[in-house]
Amino acid sequence: MPQVFSETDRAKIDSSNDESFYRSPRFVTHADDPFCSRLTDLYASVMSPGDRVFDAMSSWISFFPPLSFDRVVGHGLNRAELEANEQLDEFFLQDFNTTQRLPLDDAQFDVVCCALSVQYLQYPGPIFSEFERILSPSGTAVVSFTNRMFPTKAVHAWRTRSMNERASLVEEYFTASEFTHSERVVDHLGNDPFYAVVGYTGSK
User: Average pLDDT for consecutive 10-residue bins of the chain (204 residues)?
Assistant: 82 79 66 96 98 97 97 96 97 95 98 97 96 97 95 94 97 94 95 97 75
**How many angstroms from the chain centroid is the CA of residue 11?**
19
Predicted TM-score (pTM) of this structure? 0.93
Q: Which residues contact 44 (CB under 8 A, 6 or more apart)?
A: 65, 67
pLDDT number for residue 138: 95
Instruction: Please name every residue paired with 129 in a beta bridge, in sequence order, or none if there are none.
Output: none
Question: CATH assignment of 7-200?
Answer: 3.40.50.150
pLDDT number for residue 20: 67
DSSP 58-124: --S-----S---SEEEEEES-HHHHHH-TT-SEEEE--TTT----SS-TT-EEEEEEES-GGG-S-H
